[in-house]
Amino acid sequence: MDTTLPVRPVSPVLKALMLGPLAAAACWTFLTLWPAAGSTDALFAWRMSPVTAALLGSAYGGAAVMLALAVRARSWADVRVATAASALLMVLMAASTLADRDTLHLTGGALLGFLAAWGWLAVHLAALPIGLVALGAQLLTRGPAPVRTPRLPWWVAAPMVGGGALLALLGLVLALRPDALAPHWPWAARPLDVRALGAWTLTFGTALLLASREAELRRVRSGMAALVLTGLLGLAGLVRYGDRISWELPAAWIAVLVLTGLLGLGLCGYGVSALLDPPRDPWHPRGAAEFGEVEEVELG
């Protein structure tokens, strides 16, 4: 009789209070921004260029897929990178919103935009304490760690680490220097736009760095799916509104390079994972001698 305990599960509280609501919110934001990128003055929390709206909508579309897949996961090891990335994004977006709150439609304008602005502010402020409760519930959820397979080969880990570090550094610069960068942006942008794009760039970079320390790419497949969708939708948005972009500026091509990199890393990671990590039941981990050493460190 098999007496092996299941691996550490995802807390139902984490799913109910954080992963599920964030998936719904990301889906709603995507539907508001990407299809109607030219109508943010009437429909969204603040007015922005259609190019910015398309890029932010692409990121939220990818996040919606990642979080929807995370809600279906059973093992904590399969969702901890997605959870950490989501928590970081909510903190960064809350800070960006508070720093440039005068940009939001909080005092008037179109009714839907006015409601969206207050809803945006309320969601990001409420997400912080609710997220702490959800993460606390996950910390109290116990179970053995899954077996860690041999480390990823360098040709898989190196692009993830290198790309993640570059994105994190770029996102940090955008988040910290939006006032200086906005006037030189390749399309019309306000400091809040630059902060928001920086928050997403920093989040993607951090997520790649966290994913690189996971021995199994299968654990971060939902994140790889997010990279693919974000890259595809983002590049489509640049083509869609290409006439609004100053292509003679290097920053425009940096945006293309970042989106292409996200798409490439996502496709490679998603495909290679099937070759390096064949499927097995995460709820009944086998012995360390068969699959490698037991994992020693967890995020939370």
Residue 1 domain-assigned (yes or no): no
Give the tokens for residue 44. 């969204």
Residue 50's nearest CA partner among 211, 236, 200, 198 is 236
Task: Note the pLDDT tens digit of each residue in 21-34.
Answer: 999 999 999 999 99
CA-CA-CA-CA torsion sign (281, 285, 287, 288): positive
Give the tokens for residue 17. 């209070």
Residue 205 domain-assigned (yes or no): yes
Q: With 0-12 CB in 10 A as exposed, 13-18 as middle and 19+ as buried, what is 143? A: middle
Task: Note the pLDDT tens digit of each residue in 111-139.
Answer: 999 999 999 999 999 999 999 999 999 99
Give the tokens for residue 241. 């509104």
pLDDT band at 222 (very low <50, low <70, confident <90, very high): confident
Residue 188's nearest CA partner among 68, 279, 52 is 52
- What pLDDT is attached to residue 282? 45
Q: What's the mean pLDDT in 76-98?
A: 94
**What's the total number of domains in the chain?**
1
Q: What's the mean pLDDT in 233-239?
A: 97
Residue 300 domain-assigned (yes or no): no
Q: Which residue has the tokens 């996102």?
A: 171
Residue 22 domain-assigned (yes or no): yes
Looking at the chain, the whole-number percentage of residues with pLDDT higher than 70 is 85
List 294's β-bridge partners, or say none. Answer: 147
pLDDT band at 298 (very low <50, low <70, confident <90, very high): very low
Task: Note the pLDDT tens digit of each residue in 139-172.
Answer: 999 888 777 665 667 777 788 899 999 999 999 9
Residue 295 domain-assigned (yes or no): no
Q: Which residue has the tokens 């490439």?
A: 264
Rounded to an integer, what distance in angstroms lies between the CA atom of residue 134 and that of residue 163? 30
Residue 253 domain-assigned (yes or no): yes
Rounded to an integer, what distance in angstroms lies between the CA atom of residue 237 and that of residue 31? 14
Rounded to an integer, what distance in angstroms lies between the CA atom of residue 116 and that of residue 137? 30
Q: How far apart are the first and last CA of the chain?
A: 32
Residue 6 domain-assigned (yes or no): no
Cα 219 to chain centroid distance, Å, stands at: 15
Task: Note the pLDDT tens digit of each residue in 96-107.
Answer: 999 999 999 999
Q: Which residues form the domain of 124?
A: 12-278
Helix (H, G, I), strand (E, B) or coil at 9: strand
Residue 3 domain-assigned (yes or no): no
Helix (H, G, I), strand (E, B) or coil at 294: strand
Considering the chain, what is the average pLDDT of its residues?
Answer: 87
- What pLDDT is attached to residue 234? 97
- What pLDDT is attached to residue 288? 39
